[in-house]
Amino acid sequence: MKFSLTTSFAKLAFLSLLAVFLLSIGGRLVAAQGSLEACAGWPLCVPQGAVGWALLFHRISVIGAVILMLSLLFYAWKTQRDHRLLLPLTTATVILFFAQAFTGAILSTRDFAPVYPPLDVVQRLKDFLTLTKPIIVALLLVTTFAGLVAGGKAWPSFPLTFWTLLGGALAAGGSGAINQYIDRDLDKNMQRTSRRPMAAGRMMPAEGLAFGLALCIISFYLLAGFVNFLAAFLSLAGIFYYVVLYSILLKKATVQNIVIGGGAGAIPPLVGWAAATGRLDVPALFLFAIVFMWTPPHFWALALVRRNEYARAGVPMLPVVRGETETRKQVLIYTILLVTLSLSMSIFHFAGIVYLVSALALGGGLLYAAWRVYRLEGNKAAWQMYRYSSMYLMLLFLALVVDALV
C-alpha cells in the first residue's frame, strides 16, 4: 500500500505530531512555572492556584496525546502492514513517546529535579565571557582590523569597522565556546584548562553548546547583512575549520594538528580584507600565510611547557610524540620561515618602509627567542617565546595598519 498525504493515516499522524509538539512546549512552560506540589498526585489532582491549573491541563493534554498515539499505532498496524519504512518508524516513535511519558511520570511521583550548578549571576557572566576565549578573540580582531585597513588603504568608516569587528568577535567567540564543549572532558586533565566553565562543572554542556552556536549563527547574519557575503562566507569557513577540521578531526588524531589547524586562525585577516574590498587579493593571502606560519611555533612553545598535561590528556602534540629536541628544532625552523615570509611583504611591494622596519625589529626579537628555545633546556625560554610570539603578531599587524595609513 502506498502512503499518501491525503489518507486518513496521514491526517492522524499529523494530529499526533502536533499534539506531541504542543505537549512538549507545554511541558517546558509548566516546568519553568513552579513546583509540582501545586498539583500533587498522579495523573489528576486538585489544583492550587494558576500553576496548579496549568499542571492539570498539561496532564489532561498528556491523556489526549496518549489516545492519539495509541490510535496511530493501531491504525499503522491495520493499514500499513506492507510498508517497510513507515510501519517500523511509527512503531518506534510511539514506543519512544510512551517511554518518555513513563519517565516523566516516575520523576513526578518521586519529586525529582535535575541537579544544576548553582546560579550566580556575576559568575555566570564571567563564565560566558570565558567561553569566548577573549584574549584570543582580541588578537584575532587585531589581524581582522589590519586586513580591513590594508585592503582599503584608508581608515575604514565606523559602521564598516563596527560590524566587521562585531561579527568577527562573535564568530571567534562562538567557535571558542563550541571548542570548549567538544574538549570539556579533555580539559579536565589539564591544569591550564581545568577551570573552564564546563570542565569545572559550573556550566552545563548544553548551555555552552547553545551559546556557541547562537554566537556563530548571529555572526554570519550580521556580516552578511551589514558587511558583505564574502566576509560572511569566510567567517563561516573559519568556524567550520576550527570546530570540525581542527577540534573534532585533527586535534587528537595527528601530530600535525597545529600545523593544519593553523588555517582557522589565519582567516580573520581575509575577513577584514574582504570587508573592505569585496574580494580577495594576493596581499591578503600573504597575511593569511603569516598567521598560518606563526601558529606552529607559538603553540609548540606552549606545548613544551605543558608537555606532561598534553600527554595525560592524550593530545598528540609534537613534544609528546617526537620529543622536546625535535620540537625545539621545529620551533626555530618555522620561526625562520615566518620572519622571512613577513619581510617578503615589503620585497613584493605589498607594504612600505614603516612595516619593513617593524618587521625587521620584531622578527629579530622572535628569532632570538626561538634560538633560545633551541639552545636552552627547561621551560623558561619556551614560555618567554610563547608570550613574546603573541605580542609579535599583534605589533606586526598594527605596524601594517600604520604603514597603510601613512
**Is 133 found in the same domain as 97?**
no
**Per-residue model confidence (pLDDT) at position 133:** 92
Query: Considering only 47-51, 66-70, 367-371, which range has the smallest mean pLDDT?
Result: 47-51
Asked, for residue 2, whether it belongs to a domain, the answer is no
Q: Which amino acid is at 112?
A: F
Helices 282-305 and 353-375: angle between axes, nearest 10 degrees: 30
Q: Model confidence over 191-242: pLDDT tens digits?
A: 888 889 998 888 888 888 999 999 999 999 999 999 999 999 999 999 999 9
Query: Considering only 97-111, 168-182, 250-264, which range has the smallest mean pLDDT?
Result: 97-111
- Do the Cβ atoms of 80 and 86 come closer than 8 Å? yes
**Is 125 found in the same domain as 272?**
yes
Residue-range definition of the domain harbouring residue 87: 8-109
Residue 392 to residue 406: CA distance in whole angstroms: 21
Residue partners of 200: CB distance under 8 A and separation at least 6: 194
Q: Is the pLDDT of residue 88 over 70?
A: yes
pTM, two decimal places: 0.71
**Is 297 found in the same domain as 231?**
no
Asked, for residue 149, whether it belongs to a domain, the answer is no
Q: Is the pLDDT of residue 278 over 80?
A: yes
Residue partners of 103: CB distance under 8 A and separation at least 6: none
- Do the Cβ atoms of 313 and 293 come closer than 8 Å? no
**Per-residue model confidence (pLDDT) at position 333:** 95
Q: Which amino acid is at 327?
A: T
**Is 226 found in the same domain as 170?**
yes
Residue 168 to residue 299: CA distance in whole angstroms: 22
**Is 274 found in the same domain as 207?**
yes
**Per-residue model confidence (pLDDT) at position 329:** 94
**Is 367 found in the same domain as 317?**
yes
Asked, for residue 1, whether it belongs to a domain, the answer is no
Asked, for residue 99, whether it belongs to a domain, the answer is yes
Asked, for residue 45, whether it belongs to a domain, the answer is yes
**Is 276 found in the same domain as 365?**
no
Q: Is the pLDDT of residue 37 over 90?
A: no
Asked, for residue 165, whether it belongs to a domain, the answer is yes
**Is 303 found in the same domain as 371?**
yes
Three-state secondary structure of the chain: CCCCCCCHHHHHHHHHHHHHHHHHHHHHHHHHHCCHHHHCCCCCCCCCHHHHHHHHHHHHHHHHHHHHHHHHHHHHHHHCCCCCCHHHHHHHHHHHHHHHHHHHHHHHHCCCCCCCCCCCHHHHHHHHHHHCCHHHHHHHHHHHHHHHHHHHCCCCCHHHHHHHHHHHHHHHHHHHHHHHHHCHHHHCCCCCCCCCCCCCCCCCHHHHHHHHHHHHHHHHHHHHHHCCHHHHHHHHHHHHHHHHHHHHHHCCCCCCHHHHHHHHHCCHHHHHHHHHHCCCCHHHHHHHHHHHHHHHHHHHHHHHHCHHHHHHHCCCCHHHHHHHHHHHHHHHHHHHHHHHHHHHHHHCCCCCHHHHHHHHHHHHHHHHHHHHHHHCCCCHHHHHHHHHHHHHHHHHHHHHHHHHHC
**Is 129 found in the same domain as 50?**
no
What is the average pLDDT value for the chain, to the nearest integer?
84
Asked, for residue 59, whether it belongs to a domain, the answer is yes
Q: Model confidence over 255-271: pLDDT tens digits?
A: 888 888 888 889 999 99
- Count the residues in the chain: 406
State the average pLDDT over residues 168-177: 95
**Per-residue model confidence (pLDDT) at position 231:** 96
Query: Considering only 115-119, 167-171, 228-232, 367-371, which range has the smallest mean pLDDT?
Result: 115-119
Residue partners of 224: CB distance under 8 A and separation at least 6: 232
Query: Considering only 17-21, 116-120, 340-344, which range has the smallest mean pLDDT?
Result: 116-120
**Is 196 found in the same domain as 64?**
no
**Per-residue model confidence (pLDDT) at position 284:** 95
The CATH number of the domain holding residue 272 is: 1.10.357
255 phi and psi angles, rounded to 5 deg: -70, -15
Q: Is the pLDDT of residue 11 over 50?
A: yes
Long-range contacts of range 41-48, CB-CB < 8 Å, 24 or more positions apart?
42/105, 42/108, 42/109, 43/105
State the average pLDDT over residues 19-26: 71
**Is 183 found in the same domain as 163?**
yes
Query: Considering only 94-108, 118-132, 227-241, 334-348, which range has the smallest mean pLDDT?
Result: 94-108
Q: Model confidence over 174-200: pLDDT tens digits?
A: 999 999 999 888 888 888 888 899 988
Query: What percent of the chain has pLDDT above 90?
Result: 50
The count of structural domains within the chain is 3
**Is 77 found in the same domain as 36?**
yes
Q: Model confidence over 132-150: pLDDT tens digits?
A: 999 999 999 999 999 999 9
Asked, for residue 201, whether it belongs to a domain, the answer is yes
